[in-house]
Amino acid sequence: MGDCVIVYEGLNSMKAVYLAENGRFENRFGIFKHQSWVGKPFGCKVTATMGGHGWVYLLRPTPELWTQVLRHRTQILYLADISMAVTHLDLRPGSVVLESGTGSGSLTHSLIRAVAPTGHVHTFEFHPGRAEEAAVEFKQHGLGERVTVTQRNIEELGFPDTLHGRADAVFLDLPGPWKVIPSVAACLKPNGRFCGFSPCIEQIQRTAEALSSNGFTDIITYECLLREYEVHRETLATTVRLAEPPAPKRPRTAGPAAPAEAKAAAGPSSAAGGEAEGAGAKEAGAGAEVKEETVADAGAEVKAEVKEEAGAAEVKEEAKEEATPAPEAAAAEAEAGGSKAEEGDGGQPGTSAGPSAAAAAGAEAAAGEEQGGRGKRGGGFQRPPPPASMLQAVSARPNLEARGHTGYLIFARKFVCG
């Protein structure tokens, strides 16, 4: 009891829970008694003991997960900046690191793990409450041996003299880091590394000047941004048809119903617009996401998306129909002269886009055959191109908005003095 566990409800929904004798965890999927989790391995799926049949996963706490679930007492560093800082500070087991301010301890957890089991993090925070809370949290997480939290105004006093010449790396996340650079220079061992995080570029400029005038070299500043890509399987049904020459226009007299039929033929996919939600409907693993997208011939786009989260499954179908069918498609459908292409509708709620498009293509093929026959009878109509083939491809689309800007990281190195 007292251990920390990360409760995973979905990729973007996790919570830290400290196990207690009579503790309960409650969410929209049910009530879970802490007792029922005791002895279970990390990574396991547990079901609600009351109030529902939902489930969650129990994960081992890691610095990365902690950064995502911690209670914000201050602004914090996030994973893009943390990973950059830890890597460029060249931290390794046995390293000694100085940090200020401690803040919410988001970065500190990653620093501790990087230097464990033999290194040490000395972290300094001038706000007494924050220093106290951070120290309690590190102990609760079993990290008390690897970190010392001290309440101290670092900008005014610098780091304690006892740390002079003892640090492999120093990290500052303070309003005025340039004020501390002389003390940083005194604390770093030869070839030691420095990193400062600042939200404003003006702070970085002042820090760079201070670093340069205190004998630091290799001064470099980065901004870390994250760009997400949407990678999924797509079924394309247009490629072959688009390469074909457009079908000739049928004379108006050939079939008065043609325009209406053409519209109807483009429409089946628009019937799919259902949205269903239900707890535990499917069980492919929390957070799993399968997307399939089909672009059909007649300018209609059918999108089927299946999303699953812990305790709840969500099935969405979306259909978009362009205001006007693509010219080739309209012409081909008009050529069909009242064929029953729309009977091939596969876009019913609950079916996947693949079969839907296949059915639509099949129906068009049938319409094409019929039209071809009539064409011959009618004298001189060109046989329409063969049905579109289905092309399977994995697409990767970048999200145009890069996320993650919270500030800049400035790095520097202090070589052995000559």
Ligand X SMILES: C[S@@+](CC[C@H](N)C(=O)[O-])C[C@H]1O[C@@H](n2cnc3c(N)ncnc32)[C@H](O)[C@@H]1O
Residues that bind ligand X (CB under 6 A): 74-77, 100-101, 103-107, 124-127, 130, 153-155, 173-175
- From residue 154, alpha-carbon distances to 106, 168, 234 in Å are 19, 18, 56
Query: Residue 81 Cβ, how far from ligand X at the closest point, in Å?
Result: 9
Give 224 or 296: the residue with its C-beta nearer to ligand X: 224
Give 152 or 263: the residue with its C-beta nearer to ligand X: 152
Q: In whole angstroms, what is the distance from residue 289 CA to residue 285 CA?
A: 9
Give 71 or 377: the residue with its C-beta nearer to ligand X: 71
Give 378 or 404: the residue with its C-beta nearer to ligand X: 404
Q: In whole angstroms, what is the distance from residue 24 CA to residue 36 CA?
A: 10
User: Which residue type sits at 229?
Assistant: Y
Give 75 or 352: the residue with its C-beta nearer to ligand X: 75
Give 49 or 153: the residue with its C-beta nearer to ligand X: 153
Query: Residue 389 Cβ, how far from ligand X at the closest point, in Å?
Result: 54
Give 38 or 226: the residue with its C-beta nearer to ligand X: 226
Query: Residue 2 Cβ, how far from ligand X at the closest point, in Å?
Result: 23
Query: Residue 174 Cβ, how far from ligand X at the closest point, in Å?
Result: 5
Q: In whole angstroms, what is the distance from residue 389 CA to residue 105 CA?
A: 56
Query: Residue 264 Cβ, how far from ligand X at the closest point, in Å?
Result: 60
Q: In whole angstroms, what is the distance from residue 387 CA to residue 266 CA?
A: 15
Give 179 or 291: the residue with its C-beta nearer to ligand X: 179
For residue 284, give the DSSP letter.
S
CB 385 within 8 A of CB 241: yes
- Tokens for 141, please give them: 């997480």
Query: Residue 401 Cβ, how far from ligand X at the closest point, in Å?
Result: 24
User: Which residue type sits at 136?
Assistant: V
Give 105 or 344: the residue with its C-beta nearer to ligand X: 105
The pairing of strands 408-414 and 217-222 is: antiparallel
Q: In whole angstroms, what is the distance from residue 368 CA to residue 358 CA?
A: 15
Which is nearest to 156 in space by CA: 128, 134, 175, 135? 175
SS3 40: coil
Query: Residue 105 Cβ, how far from ligand X at the closest point, in Å?
Result: 6
Quote the longest CA-to-CA distance of the chain: 101
Residue 380 CB neighbour total at 10 angstroms: 7
Query: Residue 107 Cβ, how far from ligand X at the closest point, in Å?
Result: 4
Which is nearest to 393 in space by CA: 321, 297, 317, 294? 294
Query: Residue 205 Cβ, how far from ligand X at the closest point, in Å?
Result: 19
Length of the chain: 418
What residue has token string 């697409």? 395
Q: Which residues contact 72 (CB under 8 A, 6 or more apart)?
A: 104
